[in-house]
């Protein structure tokens, strides 16, 4: 019915007593997510509404059986927070925080991989499974509805744009995953595409990429080689000037590489339809799968 | 973040990277005194701006006398240096760096940069020193040698040996490289650099190895742990509007078109620019107000966009965390305060959309409300043409 999360996922929020942490913990609970614990060092023994707060992730796991974590701690402390979650046996870590140093991610990524832990982000909106009523992150829940379209994206608000169009057309989502806009991401397009391919409830996929790096090109080759489900795409940044970071740390055209045009060309060569404008994402998918609302 | 050549050399030298001796000068007389202090009979006067290709633009001069140093410095200081990287508007030169002249036998290229795909630090080397590496990459990519360095293990002697072989470095120069390259790597990693480029790295007539030029960029996200590096920021080298935007936590990039836009989220902001262009307009800027913008930040964003004198402005907000009514209040306040006269097209979607639209409708301001991104782009392009 979804990938990575479902109605049984038990979430600990790291940084739950901060502004963003407390606001979004409540939003997650309101949606139906099982937020079983919060962690803020030094605030152990307190509560946020009904949610018990612990000093460490290890305590939170021991006391509540949390198996997923959502991180809102400030960027300088994310390396510590991610590694603490891995150490405590968390299986899915979603890091929302923007601004994590690249070298911190270089240090963290091999440890996460070695432990077999799934890390999503950083600098991402998180993920949501409408049928499982499970949201880990900051996506606006109201625009989502249960269904069979998988969405994977490097952008936050552009994901909401795409999801809103799908919902408007009556195309619900199995899972929407924001993998984040940083140069080193915990989870890439290919891993999410594989999960959607393996998920019996996902029938088609929307991939939203942007300039910088070559993740979209690699994803295109993967779709051609390994996927039987229809995939459509949108790439942001056709008008972006080279050499400038367009908001996201990873969204930069450098040395002539990572342009939108080259990504779009390769996606199309691999048989993936690419929406001309973001306004056409929903319609492009509907046409691809022969859906008439 | 970018820094000047003279700053980069000081940072690298502290790690043991060999650089020529030099001194900074703000006036022609200072340049002459600096040259005198360095001694010798040949000096190089180099314009200090955040752009490459300075030699081609006349910003680097070799001098054979102290008077010539002073005269060349006088010519360079205050000039508007135009290089392939500055754009046609060029850069005002405020500082020069005076260096000892070297007897150069060979010019080589080395650089370190993160490789996103392999998640390693790639050490690039080429015998085509002094040329723009993008040109080498385009015409003869086989001339760029690459060593992929694991971040955990760090640089190894074999990386150095392989690089020396690729560059044809032997004897004393190879011995120097065994210090130079690990020092460069250590500086790159310890200071959270995103690029360290030595172009050229020169072999002198004596077989010595030095960084004749140095370009080092840093990961903005890591500056919090490097106050020494953060202090090197030179806002004179940045667009004043971009400096103002940074002060308000706004992601703003000035572009050349005439349609201003204010968007939440980097991906949506890029996509909004793309859509404007798709419908025949030209964006004047990229502006992401971020996920948690309040009224004050929206107002600051408006002021920055208006400084660019756009013919029309598009506000495109998909409210998630950000609430549309908050944005709407900011838009109305800003429009009143600045006496907005250019046409304004506003699209609000998501959280508290209806409340936001009501605030706009009641404001009495000349605002064109739209529903979809397509409508938004079409409307703002029409407005920019005075239709």
Q: Is the ipTM of this complex over 0.95?
A: no
The residues, ordered by sequence, that sit 6+ positions from B152 with a Cβ below 8 Å of its Cβ are: A107, A110
**Residue, of A116 and B132, whose pLDDT is higher:** A116
CB B266 within 8 A of CB B288: yes
Mean pLDDT of all residues in chain A?
A: 95
Residue A239 backbone phi and psi in degrees, to 5: -100, 5
Q: Which residue, B294, B296, B287, is CA-closest to B264? A: B287
Q: Out of B221, B274, B350, whose CB is closest to A143?
A: B350
Crossing angle of the two packed helices A157-168 and A281-288, in degrees rounded to 10: 50
Q: Is A248 a catalytic residue?
A: yes
Predicted confidence at residue B134, as pLDDT, reads 79
Cis peptide before A143 (omega within 30 of 0): no
Within 8 A of A257 by CB-CB distance, chain B residues are none
CA distance B7 to B2: 10
* DSSP single-letter state for residue A241: P
Residue B319 is predicted with a pLDDT of: 81
Whether B286 and A138 lie within 8 Å, measured CB to CB: no
Residue ranges of A 133-192 with Cβ closer than 8 A to chain B:
138-140, 142-143, 153-161, 164, 181, 183-184
Question: Do A164 and B219 lie within an 8 Å CB cutoff?
Answer: no
Task: Say yes or no to pLDDT of A239 above 90.
Answer: yes
Name the band, by pLDDT with cuts 50, 70 and 90, for residue A255: confident
The residue whose two tokens read 């080498």 is B136
B282, B288, B294, B295 alpha-carbon torsion, rounded to 10°? -20
| Distance between A280 CA and the closest CA of chain B, angstroms | 9
Q: How far apart are CA A182 and CA B114, in angstroms?
A: 13
Q: Are B69 and B98 in contact (CB under 8 A)?
A: yes
Q: How far, CA to CA in Å, does B351 sit from each of A24, A141, B320?
A: 14, 10, 6
| Cβ contact B160:B110 at 8 Å | no
Rounded Cα gap, residues B113 and A67, in angstroms: 36
Q: With an 8 Å Cβ cutoff, are A125 and B270 in contact? A: no
| b/e map B347-386, b = 16+ CB within 10 Å | bbbbbbbeebbebbeebeeebbbbebbbebbbbbbbbbee
Q: What are phi and psi of A89, to 5 degrees?
A: 90, 15
Provide the token pair at B230.
């953060």
> Comparing C-alpha atoms, which of A111, A80, A108, A62 is closest to residue A14?
A80
In the block, residue with structure tokens 């055209």: A253
Instruction: Give the pLDDT of residue A1.
Output: 65
A277–B373 CB contact, under 8 Å: yes
Report whether the peptide linkage leading into residue A215 is cis, meaning its omega lies within 30 degrees of zero.
no
- Would you say A202 and A147 are in contact if contact means Cβ atoms under 8 Å apart? no
Nearest CA in chain B to A277: B275
Task: Kindly report, residue by residue over A144-190, the tens digit of the pLDDT.
Answer: 999 999 999 999 899 999 999 999 999 999 999 999 999 999 999 99
Beta-sheet pairing, A34-39 with B215-218? unpaired
Q: Which of B5, B30, B147, B197 is catalytic?
A: B197
* pLDDT for residue B88: 85
Q: Residue A251: list chain B partners with CB under 8 A.
A: 266-267, 270
Say how far apart CA B65 and CA B98 lie, in whole Å. 13
Residue A174's DSSP bridge partners are none
Q: pLDDT value at position B53?
A: 87
pLDDT at A177: 98
The residue among B284, B285, B286, B287 whose CA lies nearest residue B258 is B284
- Asked if residues B318 and B264 have their Cβ atoms less than 8 Å apart, the reply is yes
> Minimal CA–CA distance to B135: which of B146, B144, B123, B147?
B144
**Is the CB of residue A124 less than 8 Å from the CB of residue B320?**
no
CB B133 within 8 A of CB B199: yes
Look at residue A213 and give its three-state secondary structure. coil
- The answer on pLDDT for A228 being more than 70 is yes
Say yes or no for a CB contact (<8 Å) between B278 and A214: no
Work out the number of other CB atoms within 10 angstroms of the CB of residue A288. Answer: 15
Q: Which of B6, B97, B109, B185 is catalytic?
A: B109
Q: How many CB atoms lie within 10 A of CB A188?
A: 19
Per CB-CB distance under 8 Å, the chain B contacts of A108 are: none
Tell me, what DSSP letter sits at residue A240?
P
In the structure, what pLDDT confidence band is assigned to residue A293 with cuts at 50, 70 and 90? confident
Separation between Cα atoms, residue B116 and residue B107, nearest integer Å: 28
Tens digits of residue pLDDT in A122-146: 999 999 999 999 999 999 999 999 9
- How confident is the model at residue B337, as a pLDDT? 85
Cα torsion at A211, B187, B125, B146 (round to 10°)? -60
Give pLDDT tens digits along chain B (387 positions).
999 999 999 999 999 999 999 999 999 999 999 999 999 999 999 999 999 889 888 999 999 999 999 999 999 999 999 988 888 889 999 999 999 999 999 999 999 999 998 999 999 999 999 888 878 888 888 889 999 999 999 999 999 999 999 999 999 999 999 999 999 999 999 999 999 999 999 999 999 999 999 999 999 999 999 999 999 999 999 989 999 998 998 999 999 999 999 999 999 999 999 999 999 999 999 999 986 677 788 889 999 999 889 999 999 998 877 788 888 988 898 888 878 889 999 999 887 889 999 999 999 888 999 999 999 999 999 999 988
């Amino acid at each position: 019915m979804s990938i990575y999360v479902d109605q049984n996922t038990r979430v600990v929020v790291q940084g739950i007593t901060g502004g963003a942490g407390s606001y979004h913990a409540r939003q997650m609970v309101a949606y139906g997510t099982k937020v079983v614990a919060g962690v803020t060092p030094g605030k152990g023994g307190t509560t946020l509404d009904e949610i018990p707060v612990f000093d460490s992730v290890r305590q939170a796991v021991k006391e509540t059986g949390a198996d997923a974590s959502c991180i809102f701690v400030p960027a300088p402390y994310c390396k510590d927070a991610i590694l603490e979650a891995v150490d405590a046996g968390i299986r899915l870590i979603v890091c929302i925080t923007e601004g994590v140093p690249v070298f911190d991610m270089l240090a963290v990524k091999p440890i996460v991989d070695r432990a077999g832990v799934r890390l999503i982000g950083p600098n991402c909106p998180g993920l949501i499974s409408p049928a499982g009523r499970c949201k880990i992150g900051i996506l606006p829940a109201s625009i989502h509805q249960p269904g069979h379209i998988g969405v994977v994206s490097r952008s936050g608000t552009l994901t909401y744009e795409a999801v809103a169009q799908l919902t408007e057309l009556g195309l619900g989502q199995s899972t929407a995953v924001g993998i984040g806009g940083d140069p080193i991401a915990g989870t890439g397009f290919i891993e999410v595409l594989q999960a959607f391919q393996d998920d019996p409830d996902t029938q088609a996929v929307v991939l939203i990429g942007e300039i910088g790096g070559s993740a979209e090109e690699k994803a295109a080759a993967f779709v051609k080689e390994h996927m039987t489900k229809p995939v459509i795409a949108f790439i942001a940044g056709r008008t972006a000037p080279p050499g400038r970071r367009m908001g996201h740390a990873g969204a930069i055209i450098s040395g002539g590489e990572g342009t939108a045009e080259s990504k779009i060309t390769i996606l199309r060569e691999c048989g993936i339809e690419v929406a001309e404008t973001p306004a056409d994402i929903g319609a492009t998918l509907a046409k691809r799968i022969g859906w008439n609302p | 973040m970018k820094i000047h050549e003279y700053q980069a050399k000081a940072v690298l030298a502290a790690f043991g990277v060999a650089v020529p001796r030099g001194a900074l000068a703000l006036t022609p007389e200072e340049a002459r005194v600096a040259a005198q202090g360095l001694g010798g009979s040949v000096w190089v006067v180099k314009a200090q701006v955040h752009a490459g290709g300075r030699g081609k633009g006349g910003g680097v001069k070799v001098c054979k006398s102290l008077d010539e140093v002073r005269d060349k410095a006088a010519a360079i200081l205050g000039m508007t240096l135009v290089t392939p990287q500055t754009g046609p508007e060029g850069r005002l030169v405020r500082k020069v760096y005076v260096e000892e002249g070297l007897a150069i036998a060979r010019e080589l290229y080395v650089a370190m940069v993160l490789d996103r795909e392999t998640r390693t630090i790639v050490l690039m080397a080429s015998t085509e020193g002094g040329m723009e590496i993008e040109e080498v990459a385009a015409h003869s990519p086989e001339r760029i040698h690459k060593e992929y360095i694991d971040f955990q293990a760090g640089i190894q002697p074999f990386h150095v040996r392989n690089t020396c072989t690729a560059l044809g470095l032997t004897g004393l120069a190879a011995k120097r490289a065994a210090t130079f390259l690990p020092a460069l790597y250590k500086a790159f990693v310890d200071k959270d650099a995103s690029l360290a480029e030595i172009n050229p790295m020169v072999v002198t007539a004596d077989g010595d190895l030095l960084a004749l030029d140095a370009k080092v960029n840093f990961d903005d996200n890591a500056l919090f742990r490097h106050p020494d590096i953060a202090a090197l920021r030179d806002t004179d080298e940045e667009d004043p509007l971009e400096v103002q935007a940074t002060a308000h936590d706004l992601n703003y990039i000035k572009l050349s078109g005439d349609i201003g836009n204010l968007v939440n989220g980097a991906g949506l902001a890029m996509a909004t620019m793309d859509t404007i262009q798709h419908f025949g307009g030209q964006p004047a800027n990229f502006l992401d107000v971020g996920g948690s913008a309040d009224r004050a930040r929206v107002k600051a964003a408006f002021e920055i966009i208006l400084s660019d004198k756009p013919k029309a402005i598009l506000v495109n907000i998909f409210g998630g965390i950000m609430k549309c009514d908050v944005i709407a209040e900011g838009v109305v306040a800003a429009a009143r305060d600045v006496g907005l006269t250019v046409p304004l097209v506003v699209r609000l979607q998501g959280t508290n959309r209806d409340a936001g639209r009501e605030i706009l409708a009641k404001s009495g301001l000349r605002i064109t409300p739209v529903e979809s991104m397509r409508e938004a782009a079409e409307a703002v392009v029409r407005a920019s043409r005075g239709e």
